């Protein structure tokens, strides 16, 4: 089978490799569509290393059709359309037992410890099947839309941490696919105004298309002044940082009203630190939190939102890539060309 094999930073090669052989407890999935995540870009650049093996097949956003089923598998059948939750919790550790399976102490993931979706076929390990990490996709949802369920589920986790409420003023910093999902989810949650900060013009246009009330270039317009004018001088209720730029964490916190919440949604490069004014946190009583990955419940909710048409998928995806062009897709995402690159096989 064809697969994009990751050998290390900036070294991804399309090769013919052996098709996976499954055991009686496993499933072989024919990958129909995969997508590029910002984390894939960081892996490619060598900025994300935890759980990443070399050589290996990366890619954790994937959907497909069951090709083979192990003899001991009872609930899945050849030909079924399947979405994959990549993060596999152990179900036994402190975090799994206390509602935080997304940060399981013993977590493994497809696209990391197990070969991922930038290939024609992927082996689904038994622990993923037993944990309920496979979801059957309704026939009326296209693969190109269903593949967005995984990152959308991660955004649902972030929104829950940010605690967006009806009437809130929300600032989303970064207008890539993740940022535009946050814009849409904030509006669904009842935000009265969503302000998007994004320097790339076509992303600002898409931000307005999906429901942002304002979409500004922070290099041309003062984001702080706009937030104050929109909130009678109080500040935003919630700020979601959807880009991993440490240098703007402090300025993002300064956009909040007293008692507001800053959600650090994006991943950051290990070892790169951010300066923070503790007085902003202390005297304004703001909350700063993070969000990592997704829960199984988040994935099901995300698929339901996609199924009901409440999320504009077309605005946040760029189609037309094939497995032969995975590296180019990664580079285009890195360079801000288009939106979420979707790879169809």
Residues 268 and 171 in one domain: yes
Which residue has 């199984």 as its token pair?
Answer: 296
The verdict on residue 163 lying in a domain is yes
Distance CA 169, CA 149 (A): 26
pLDDT, position 51: 86
Residues 57 and 140 in one domain: yes
Distance CA 154, CA 143 (A): 18
The verdict on residue 297 lying in a domain is no
Residues 217 and 106 in one domain: no
The verdict on residue 8 lying in a domain is yes
How buried is residue 219: exposed, middle or buried, by Cβ count under 10 Å (0-12/13-18/19+)? exposed
Residues 180 and 132 in one domain: no
- Number of structural domains in the chain: 2
Residues 331 and 281 in one domain: no
Q: Which residues does residue 342 pair with via DSSP β-bridges, in sequence order?
A: 35
pLDDT, position 181: 98
The verdict on residue 308 lying in a domain is no
Distance CA 137, CA 324 (A): 26
The verdict on residue 307 lying in a domain is no
Residues 224 and 256 in one domain: yes
pLDDT, position 72: 97
CATH number at residue 109: 3.90.180.10
pLDDT, position 66: 98
pLDDT, position 287: 98
pLDDT under 70: residue ranges of the chain: none
Distance CA 187, CA 178 (A): 14
Residues 72 and 122 in one domain: yes
What 3-state DSSP class applies to 72? Answer: coil
Nearest alpha carbon to residue 50 among 128, 107, 132, 1: 107
Distance CA 193, CA 36 (A): 29
Residues 62 and 181 in one domain: no
CB 36 within 8 A of CB 340: yes
Residues 41 and 26 in one domain: yes
CATH number at residue 286: 3.40.50.720
Residues 141 and 165 in one domain: no
Domain that holds residue 164: 155-290
The verdict on residue 299 lying in a domain is no
User: What residues have CB less than 8 Å from 220, skipping those under 6 apart?
Assistant: none
Quote the tokens at residue 278. 């503790």
Pairing mode, if any, of strands 61-69 and 27-35? antiparallel
Residues 239 and 330 in one domain: no
pTM of the model: 0.96
Nearest alpha carbon to residue 275 among 249, 312, 256, 294: 249
The verdict on residue 84 lying in a domain is yes
Residues 215 and 123 in one domain: no
The verdict on residue 298 lying in a domain is no
């Amino acid at each position: 089978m064809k697969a994009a094999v990751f050998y290390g930073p900036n070294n991804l090669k399309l090769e013919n490799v052996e098709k996976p052989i499954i055991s009686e407890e496993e499933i072989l999935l024919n990958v129909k569509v995969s997508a590029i995540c910002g984390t894939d870009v960081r892996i490619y650049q060598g900025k994300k290393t935890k759980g990443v093996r070399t050589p290996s097949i990366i890619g954790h956003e994937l959907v497909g059709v069951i090709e083979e089923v192990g003899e001991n598998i009872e609930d899945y059948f050849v030909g079924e359309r399947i979405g994959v939750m990549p993060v596999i919790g152990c179900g036994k550790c402190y975090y799994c037992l206390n509602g935080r399976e997304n940060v399981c102490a013993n977590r493994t993931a497809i696209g990391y410890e197990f070969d991922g979706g930038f290939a024609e076929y992927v082996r689904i390990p038994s622990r993923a099947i037993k944990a309920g990490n496979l979801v059957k996709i309704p026939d009326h949802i296209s693969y190109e839309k269903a593949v967005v369920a995984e990152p959308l589920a991660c955004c649902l986790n972030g929104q829950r941490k940010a605690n967006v409420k009806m009437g809130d003023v929300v600032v989303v910093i970064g207008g890539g696919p993740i940022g535009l999902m946050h814009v849409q989810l904030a509006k669904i949650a009842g935000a009265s105004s969503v302000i998007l900060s994004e320097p790339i013009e076509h992303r600002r246009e898409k931000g307005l298309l999906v429901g942002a009330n304002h979409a500004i270039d922070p290099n041309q317009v003062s984001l702080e002044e706009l937030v104050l004018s929109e909130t009678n001088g109080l500040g935003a209720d919630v700020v979601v940082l959807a880009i991993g730029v440490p240098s703007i964490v402090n300025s993002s916190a300064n956009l909040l009203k007293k008692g507001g919440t800053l959600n650090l949604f994006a991943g950051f490069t290990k070892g790169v630190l951010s300066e923070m004014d503790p007085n902003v946190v202390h005297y304004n009583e703001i909350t700063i939190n993070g969000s990592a990955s997704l829960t199984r419940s988040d994935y099901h909710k995300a698929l339901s939102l996609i199924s009901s048409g409440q999320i504009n998928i077309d605005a946040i995806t760029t189609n037309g890539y094939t497995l032969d062009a995975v590296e180019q897709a990664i580079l285009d995402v890195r360079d801000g060309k288009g939106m979420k690159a979707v790879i169809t096989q």
